[in-house]
Structure 1
Amino acid sequence: MEASDSEDLFPSNVSHRPWLMQLHGKTDKQEFMDPDNHNTVERKIPLLKGNLCLGCFEDWLLLADKSTKATFFLHRTLDPKLKVYLPPLRGESFEHLGNCVVSSSPTSHKCVVIFVGRGRDVILYCRPKTNVSWTKVQLSIDPQGYHTFTGQVVKFKGKIYVPHGTKVAHRVVVINEESLLKGDCSWTIIQMPYRINGWSHLVVSGQDMFLVLVSTSTLRRGTPTSCTIYRLKTSDQTWRLAESMGGRVFFLGGIQSSSIPAAQAGKQRDCIYVVNQNYRLLDGEGVYKICMQDQTVSLSLLLKRPRGWRCNLCWLMPTRVNLKSKYETLSFSHSLGTDKYEERQVNKEGKKEEKCKIDVSRPWTDMPIELVQLLLPRLNLIDCIRLPSVCKAWRSVSNYIQDAKVHPWLLYSANDSCLLRLFDPIYGKEYSIDMKWFGLVKNLMFHYSRDGWVLASKENKHLFLINPLTRESFGLPDLDHGISTTMSFSSSPTNLDCVVFVVLFADFHVMEISTWSPGANAWSKMSFDNEFGLCVPCNPVFTQGEFYCYKLNGDMLIYNPKKKTLQTLAIKAPTEITGPIEMEEIIARIMQCHLMEAWGDLLTVFRKCAKDPLSIFKLDRINMVWSEVDDVGDLTVFLNHKTSLAKSCLEKSCRNLMYLSGFADEHSKSSASYFLETNKYYPKDYYHHKEPMNCIWIEPSLAA
């Protein structure tokens, strides 16, 4: 095979933009995925058959032959003559090798290859040009063995940085490379800014090193809910919040992480592509695209995971420079109380024509107040808010807010310190809410909403109930310990019988239910043996005086706040759980669920994975079973993993429709949706769906 033959094996533009390569190992067919265009290209590459990919360093692939234990560098031209062999890894398991770093080109005599073990504090290193065996170094960073190396390793300014912890890293071990090679290894420890339920990635970008913390939904699955970037200050080895990514793009996860300028990648600047290696076990691997400028996330692609073989994912970076990115920065144009209308429109022939202008000779004051009152139920909330400003006579209209046609809006935070966004899915308009009265909302996390109020938190500890439209807020006592999995509340906190309901896990064997009501200075807590199983990330629903929430095995938990009793409802979630099955597969099968209440009925929506159809069920309380329904009549369903709502909608075009909590694509402001009548998504390609990371449906309310 000649070097030029690689152009027929790799995708044609692999040298111009990043691709994700998946080696299947047992076969000579490999997959290449474009994370933006969702293209999957399969190539037959005999030279890669039976090999694991251990790393990709500029133009070199580090491969391992599982049968012979041989490790070698192979140039990206796939020329078999361009190979650099490493000493054999005798007695070492590839599964425990972990990630590696390379000091320089494999052809250099100064090249050093360093492996940092996965799940153990072990380092292996060698010099390909001079060593005939690997040097093994056992470190005693945690003598008790509770914490070990985990995650990806990077090399930066003569030091090796590797995350350290249990299953989720909470600190970074910094190893001096020079001392390691001299046999007198020294290290220091840097604590991460805070612990997260999600992923942490180290990435070197230009002359800086960044720490990317991605929080995900409960149980570390589902879409990212927030993303924070820190820059390392090398003078004192501390993390400082990064204001920007410097116009670069990060490619995280897989075997290792990379960073290149947006122009070279041909991508939108300040975006992060991250591989979720735990993404819905039954469906395979997922790649999320996180846009830091507007704080949105989209599922870029979904990969099939081959069974019985360690699947390797590796980012292939471009080797040539594109002149400029084809993407433009997205911007938001609407603000609360103001809309921008175009004065011209384009017809099918491409000619511009003036909009029809109607000359209104009579003033609005001539319209009878009785007629204005009749129009109120057909006006949306924003139009009703503007009503008194039309003329002085209309200020006498009674109940102009209470009679407004109200439907749920999507509330989310963008990259602003004191602004929240509201998106109307039916009319496709977006508004901004000034939150200076509350303070900084950039790091405010939404958890649940009801009656116009939102249960939110700061720093995963301080809880608040806020009404963004009436500018009211209630501070709740801090949660002192445990991992919160689900939370909700029963009604507006202005009602004395309001109950805030939070499920905490002090440890794996104890479940704690905490409740709070207006006027209380502390949480009321009750502990239960964890025989019920962890709750799935579908918040509880309050109906008929009780909170309903799912267990992992599909059972329904019911908590009565007045009687303070917890029981299991003798029904099963409508999932395909048959025969012996692993717990992780049970989790995967019921993770995509939504629970809601409509007119006293309990509804649930299930989806196996992102591209599958949605199924909706209603609880038959007589026979205590879930019954699938083909349509929901005049209801409109608003789906979100934090709060889902089912409401009657006056717009006929919205009936029997499900709105997803996001936009149809990256450029339009139309809502992604699902039509129950046709069982089809809009847009039809689900991977174009773009969702704010921190968002929730809210029923706007101006009632005090």
Structure 2
Amino acid sequence: MGISECDDLFPSIGSQQPWLMQSHRRPKYEREFMNPYNHCILNRKIPQLKWKLCLGCFEGWLLLVDELTKETFFLHRNLDLKLKVCLPSLRGESLEDLGGCVVSSSPLSRSCMVTFVGRTKDIIVYCRPNINARWTKLSLSIDSEAHHRFTGQVVRYNGKIYALHGGAVTNRIVVIHEDSLLMGDCTYIILLMPIAIYGTHHLVVSSHHMFLVSVSNSNEGQGFPASCIIHRVELSDYTWKRVESIGGCVFFLGGTQSSVLSPYQAGAQRDCIYIANQYYGEGIYKICMQDQIISLSLLLKWPGRWRSQLCWLMPTRVYHSWTRKREMYSLTHAIGTDKSDATHVHEEEKKKEKCRVDIARPWADMPTELMELLLRRLYLMDCLCLTSVCKAWNSLSNLIQSSKVHPWFMYTTNDKSCLWRLFDPVYGKEYSIDMTWLGFSQDISFQYSKDGWLLVLKEGKYFFLINPLTRECIDLPEKDHYYRFVGMSFSSSPTNSDCVVLVVSSYERHFLEISTWKPGEDEWSNMKFYYRFCCPVPGNPVFTGGKFYYYPFRGKLSVYDPNKRTLQTFKTKAPLEIDENATKIMQGYLMESMGDLITVFRESPEDRLRIFQLDQQKMAWSELDGLGDFNIFLNHRTSLAKPFLEKRCPNPIYLSQFADEHCKSIASYSLETIKCQPADRSALKEPTNCIWIEHSRRA
């Protein structure tokens, strides 16, 4: 078969850019190729791949297995059957028990060795093409606990195989000496990971470094990626270091294996990560490390099960025209201040300077009645600035209460600054808050907000309660962060004596630790509970009626009483019945509204948002047709339902995502039109560290 014919089958051979290949269920020889850059999707019928599963792509070679005969072989990407390297048959092995695969060298080399690690099983399966007549299978006893097993994620570097290992939380890496496998044995060491989060972990080998990319999702492993934490491991002494850059490279994660390219090879912006969520996600996400923005790059047509295998196809040679270099230059310098906007702002300042008029009468003489009329028409930031006009206005009471207060979108960027950014979703204005006294914003993660206060986590273990507008800060006791945190909340402003801060941790399978703190206490109060419903939950626990409510997707409704220190589980019918084998994403948000418990669900990104209210007497969910005079502000950490103030924005639902490339407006959803604005989901960009916050109306 000639190269020209292959160009019609494999688009990645004719154009030097990465493609994601996905197998359709039917027909078995059809493949779908997806371009993460321009949203292009191509369908190809490839007879050579009929009934074949692709287990990986290694330097231009496809590792294939026949689903019917279990015949296993390497086939070059030019699809020439003469360039076929046979391997022993995998007959007798369950393909779903086999995780990721690594190859030591070119399949044409006699020293080549192919190694699989198990998926949810502690097994190693390996062979040498053209030498071994059968696969060698080793069962390992790495952990006596039944729920700690290989996850299937594996990479190879310098004669060693690195495989992720763990249970509900992946917390270690098994380092296997490849030479020991040739002796029929398996020599390994255990490398503890620096972080324990519920999400997906990916190992990537780039140049002389190995990176651990940890991605947590918005709903405990499902939904939109919420944060991305990167560590680099020094392979000489196995020490970890958290980094904010991936060395200018571009990572392609998910599917059968992870790949890395330089920005010139990839034809993409540097320090970007493209991740395909194969199991719980619905598309390819782009994570830009320079500005900490996550966006949906491409929507997958066939999301879900392992049989719908995903495989990244990397360019086989490096070629760039001057046009491509100019495009790369523009991409690399795309982030920054818009000069046209800066010039416009400068001109506006000049006009304001010319329009200034000297006023002889002092502002302090303004009658109180006029001040009250003025306050009713001012918004939060303008109201806060009034106190700096004159000393007399500092004594005005209830200044904020008279202003139009609605939740604001707070987020940080990865510019190594100490600025927190506030965005007004109604008027599209942005403000910055200097938090130099707290440290770099990249070390801070927002966890929960209420009454104008934020529960933040610094460097993964230090808790603070902060009011960013008043600069008040309360240190909380340090908490062991070895266990994964699965929920955080607090009942009211910490200036109230009855405030309770709640942290839910998972330390073993089916066990929860609930820790509480009250103002004046020096340490956490810990309670441990057996909890068999360890499944994803829509957001953090919500406090109402003196209790914290915690709701899994398919489980029961759990209620924690901080006064009695009891955890009750109620049998409630889930708002939406989800099949255990469902391949769609479930997005859910839990919130309190006027004492009622509200949840917003969406079965998949294409479906409409549905709103349910809990009848606390019957412990049953009922669907609502609308919200009345309320707006909803959705976020995976804190969601709010508040009376709306603007008649021009009836009944919208605000999302914690920017609707445009320049982050000038917030995405919204209308219950009347059942449409999202913007309609193109690829335009949505979500900061990795963001939350909705409202200012307290307390006196």
Q: Distance in 2 between the 1:143 and 1:388 partners?
A: 62
CA contact (8 A) 1:486 1:537 kept: no
Q: Which residue of the other structure, out of 310, 329, 339, is the alignment partner of 1:313? A: 310
One-letter code aligned to 1:411 = M
Q: SS of the counterpart of 1:383?
A: helix
Distance 1:208 1:148 in 2: 25
Kept in 2: contact 1:365–1:391 (CA 8 A):
no
- CA-to-partner distance for each residue in 1:252-278, whole Å, 9 max, x for gaps? 121111010122212221111122233
8 A contact 2:284–2:297 mirrored in 1: yes
Q: Is 1:404 the counterpart of 2:403 in the alignment? A: yes
1:592 matched residue in structure 2: 587
Preserved contact between residue 373 and residue 397 of structure 1 (Cα < 8 Å): no
Tell me which amino acid in the other structure corresponds to 1:293.
Q
CA offsets 1:377-413 (integer angstroms, 9 cap, x no match): 2222222333355678877866544433222112223
1:35 matched to 2:36? The reply is yes
Structure 1 position 670, deviation (Å): 1.2
Q: Deviations over 1:610-629 (max 9, x none)?
A: 23211223456787754444
Per the alignment, residue 682 of structure 2 pairs with 687
SS in 1 for 2:4: helix
Q: Superposition pairs for residues 511-530 of structure 1, below 5 Å?
A: 511-530=512-531
1:605 alignment partner in structure 2: 600
Please name the residue that 2:78 is paired with: 77
Q: Specify the SS of the correspondent of 1:386.
A: helix
Instruction: Report Cα offsets for 1:109-150 as digits up to 9, x if no partner.
Output: 44333333444454444443x415245263756274755443
The equivalent of 1:493 in structure 2 is 494
Residue in 2 that maps onto 1:244: 245
Query: Contact (CA 8 Å) 1:216, 1:222: kept in 2 or not?
Result: yes
Report the more deviating stretch, 656-665 or 7-16. 7-16
Mapped pair 1:200 → 2:201? yes
User: What do residues 79-107 of structure 1 show as CA deviations (whole Å, max 9, x unaligned)?
Assistant: 33332222333433323333222233333
Is 1:615 the equivalent of 2:610?
yes
- The answer to whether the 8 A contact 2:9-2:44 is kept is yes
How many Å apart are 1:20 and its aligned residue? 0.8
Corresponding residue for residue 177 of structure 1? 178
Provide the residue aligned with 2:424 in structure 1.
424
On the 8 A contact 2:219/2:588 being kept in 1, the answer is no
Q: Is the 8 A contact 2:96 2:306 kept in 1?
A: no
Closer, same or farther in 2 for the Cα pair 1:478/1:123, shift >3 Å? same
AA aligned opposite 2:331 = Y
**Compared CA separation, residues 593 and 116, structure 1 to 2 (3 A):** closer
Judged with a 3 Å threshold, the aligned counterparts in structure 2 of structure 1 residues 340 and 511 are, in CA distance, closer, same or farther, namely farther
Residue 648 to residue 201, structure 1, CA distance change in 2 (3 Å) = same
Shift of the alpha carbon at 1:243?
Answer: 4.7
**Percentage identity across paired residues of the two chains:** 56
Structure 1 residues 523, 631: closer, same or farther in 2, change over 3 A? same
Secondary structure class of the residue paired with 1:100? strand
1:327 aligns with 2:324: no
If the length of structure 1 is used for normalisation, what is the TM-score?
A: 0.86
Deviation at 1:194, TM superposition (A): 2.6
Cα distance between partner residues in 2 of 1:605 and 1:403 = 31
1:291 matches 2:294:
no
Residue 342 (str. 1) matches residue 345 (str. 2): yes
- Look up the match of 1:659: 654
Distance 1:494 1:598 in 2: 22
CA distance in 1, matches of 2:7, 2:448: 52
Is the 1:451–1:492 Cα contact (8 Å) retained in structure 2? yes
- What residue is the counterpart of 1:433 in the other structure? 433
Q: Alpha-carbon deviation of 1:504?
A: 4.1
Does 1:49 pair with 2:44? no
Is 1:24–1:309's contact at 8 Å kept on the other side of the alignment? no
Change (3 A) 1:223 1:307: closer
Task: After superposition, give the CA deviation of every residue in 1:421-462 in whole Å (9 maximum; x if it has no partner).
Answer: 222222223333222222344233322110111122245544
Partner Cα separation in structure 2 for residue 623 and residue 166 of structure 1: 36
Is the alpha carbon distance of 1:13 and 1:673 closer, same or farther for their aligned partners in structure 2, counting shifts above 3 Å?
farther
The equivalences for 1:238-277 within 5 A come to: 238-277=239-278
**Structure 2 CA distance for aligned equivalents of residues 616 and 199 of structure 1:** 29
**Which residue identity does 1:442 align to in structure 2?**
Q
Match of 1:349 in 2: none
- 3-state DSSP class of the match of 1:385? helix
- C-alpha distance in 1, partners of 2:629/2:137? 67
5+ residue gaps, structure 2, are none
Mapped to 1, the partners of 2:507 and 2:491 lie a distance apart of 24
Q: CA deviation at 1:40?
A: 2.6
Q: Which SS does the other structure have where 1:210 is aligned? A: strand
Say whether the 8 Å CA contact 2:517–2:523 is kept in structure 1: yes
Q: After the TM superposition, which of the residue ranges 619-628 and 541-550 deviates more from structure 2?
A: 619-628
Q: Mind listing any 5+ residue stretches in structure 1 that lack a counterpart?
A: 346-353
Give CA deviations for 1:647-704 in whole Å, capped at 9, x if unaligned: 2333323331111001113334211111222111011022321111222111135979
The structure-2 alpha-carbon separation of the partners of 1:266 and 1:532, relative to structure 1 and needing over 3 Å to count, comes to: closer
Deviates more, 1:228-237 or 1:43-52: 228-237
Whole-angstrom CA distance in 2 between matches of 1:664 and 1:653: 18
Tell me how far 1:519 sits from its aligned partner: 1.6
| Cα offset, 1:21, TM superposition | 0.4
Judged with a 3 Å threshold, the aligned counterparts in structure 2 of structure 1 residues 434 and 703 are, in CA distance, closer, same or farther, namely farther
Q: Distance in 2 between matches of 1:93 and 1:531?
A: 29
- Aligned mates of 2:185, 2:533 — CA distance in 1: 51
Aligned length: 682
Change (3 A) 1:372 1:328: farther
1:549 and 1:30, CA in 2 relative to 1: closer, same or farther beyond 3 A? same
Matches of 1:150 and 1:242 in 2, distance apart? 24
Whole-Å separation in 1 of the counterparts to 2:457 and 2:377: 35
CA distance in structure 2 between the aligned counterparts of 1:540 and 1:515, rounded to whole angstroms: 13
Please tell me whether residue 21 in structure 1 is matched to residue 21 in structure 2.
Answer: yes
Equivalent residues of 1:501, 1:514 under 8 A apart:
yes
Which residue does 1:386 correspond to in 2? 385
Residue by residue, what CA displacement relative to the aligned partner does 1:285-331 show, whole Å, maximum 9, x if unpaired? 53322111122222333434489972211001123434332524554
Look up the SS of the partner of 2:520 in the other structure: coil
- The AA in structure 2 aligned to 1:549 is Y
Q: Using the alignment, how far apart are the partners of 1:56 and 1:250 within structure 2?
A: 15
* Aligned partners of 1:506 and 1:512 also within 8 Å: yes
The reply to whether residue 672 of structure 1 matches residue 672 of structure 2 is: no
Secondary structure of the residue aligned to 1:264 is helix
> Residues 7 and 458 of structure 1: is their aligned pair in 2 closer, same or farther, counting only changes over 3 Å?
same
Bigger drift between 217-226 and 304-313 goes to 304-313
User: Separation in 2 of the partners of 1:621 and 1:679?
Assistant: 28
**Map of 1:11 onto structure 2:** 11
- Given residue 381 of structure 1, which amino acid in structure 2 is its aligned partner? L
In the alignment, the residues of structure 2 paired with residue 95 and residue 331 of structure 1 have an alpha-carbon distance, to the nearest angstrom, of 42
Whole-Å separation in 1 of the counterparts to 2:164 and 2:145: 15
Whichever residue aligns with residue 470 of structure 1, its letter is T
What is the RMSD computed on CA atoms of the aligned residues?
3.6
Alignment of 1:99-114 (within 5 A): 99-114=100-115
1-structure distance, mates of 2:360, 2:642: 33
Q: Work out whether residues 485 and 537 of structure 1, in 8 Å CA contact, stay in contact via their aligned partners in 2.
A: no
Q: State the SS of the aligned residue for 2:279.
A: coil
Distance 1:205 1:482, change over 3 A: closer
Q: Distance in 1 between matches of 2:617 and 2:95?
A: 56
